[in-house]
A = this chain, B = another copy of it.
């Protein structure tokens, strides 16, 4: 497995395959890999001739009060996991390489996709995500970009950015991978205490209760949201940040939770910010 830190070398590696007409799948990550990431790698391995991953904790997408410094880092273990899954090359750029002195360019996203959900609570976050992903795509030159549906707003934003900028890459969103008790896999789960870890599955239990109510016919958004809140209130340690029902692709709020709707939430638990969502 090749490990490359220089964007020019990464491009040369990919271009050699592209000039032979091979397809390349790309899985961008911030490391601290879990089954969610590994499923993206497996999806690329099934579909593409060459599978690339990146490991880079992007400072641009963390707010000044966010957990950039606390974000888990364990490069050697991550590289071991990717090698086991027969990833062909891993791109591991440095901060200096990504944002050298004089760096002046930002990809900005505006409009309905960044009006609700995480966006108001994380100013600049999606611009940081868009900028780093456009850069990663520029270096990795993939045919397909694999993303996890857990980060639903990120998926919607990046589909838009890639389409808006006429970038020649197909975005593939893969289903959220969950622990047995329903908790969505996340690198941030590592930072929960055993007690917090036992509480966290209430988020998905709440989302499922909401979806069941909607499916039973009581689909008015206010009712569905109230039902989920009722479930979440059973755990005092859960500090809900937002809970919204939106249209799956446009992320516009819906009045009724119907097929094509998504219910999404963010909550703090032991100062760890967790997100989850469910498609109806």
Question: Chain A contact residues (Cβ within 8 angstroms of B): what range?
Answer: 35 or more
Within 164-209 of A, Cβ neighbours of B (below 8 Å) are at: 164-168
Complex interface: stretch among A107-115, A225-233, A265-273: A107-115
CA distance A139 to B18 in the complex (A): 16
Whole-angstrom distance between the Cβ of A274 and the nearest chain B Cβ = 27
Question: In the complex, what's the smallest C-beta–C-beta distance from A116 to chain B, in angstroms?
Answer: 14
- The closest CB in chain B to the CB of A107 belongs to B107
Cβ distance A166 to chain B, nearest Cβ, rounded Å: 4
CA distance A7 to B165 in the complex (A): 10
Please, which residue of chain B has its CB at the minimum distance from the CB of A111?
B104
Interface pick from A64-72, A130-138, A213-221 = A130-138
User: From A161, which residue of chain B is reached at the shortest CB distance?
Assistant: B105
Q: Is the pair B106, A166 in contact by a Cβ cutoff of 8 Å? A: no
Which residues of B are found within 8 Å of A109, using beta-carbon distances?
104-105
- Which of A7, A108, A130, A138 counts the most B-chain CB atoms under 10 A from its CB? A138
Asked whether B138 lies within 8 Å of A168 as measured between CB atoms, the reply is yes
Would you call B138 and A103 a contact (CB within 8 A)? no
Q: Is A21 an interface residue (CB 8 A)?
A: yes
Within A79-131, the residues touching B (CB, 8 Å) are 102-114, 130-131
Closest CB of chain B to A212's CB: distance in Å?
32
Fill in one digit per residue for A12-45: 1 if any B CB lies within 8 Å of its CB, else 0.
Answer: 0001001111000000000000000000000000
Instruction: List residues of chain B with CB within 8 A of the CB of A73.
Output: none
Q: Judge whether A280 is part of the interface by a CB distance below 8 angstroms.
A: no
CB distance from A10 to the nearest CB of B (A): 8
> Which residue, of A104, A105, A131, A139, has the highest number of chain B Cβ atoms within 10 A?
A105
Residue of B nearest to A139 (CB): B166
Who on chain B is nearest to A98 by CB? B166
| Shortest Cβ gap from A49 to chain B (Å) | 13
Give the Cβ gap from A89 to chain B, nearest Cβ, in Å. Answer: 15
Q: CA A136 – CA B111 in complex, angstroms?
A: 22
The yes or no answer to A224 lying at the interface (CB within 8 A) is: no
Contacts of A136 in B (CB 8 A): 166
Question: Is A5 an interface residue when CB atoms closer than 8 A count as contact?
Answer: no
24 cross-chain CB contacts under 8 A: A7-B166, A15-B168, A102-B111, A102-B160, A102-B250, A104-B113, A104-B160, A104-B164, A105-B107, A105-B109, A105-B110, A105-B130, A105-B160, A105-B161, A105-B165, A107-B108, A107-B165, A134-B165, A135-B164, A135-B165, A135-B166, A138-B165, A138-B166, A138-B168
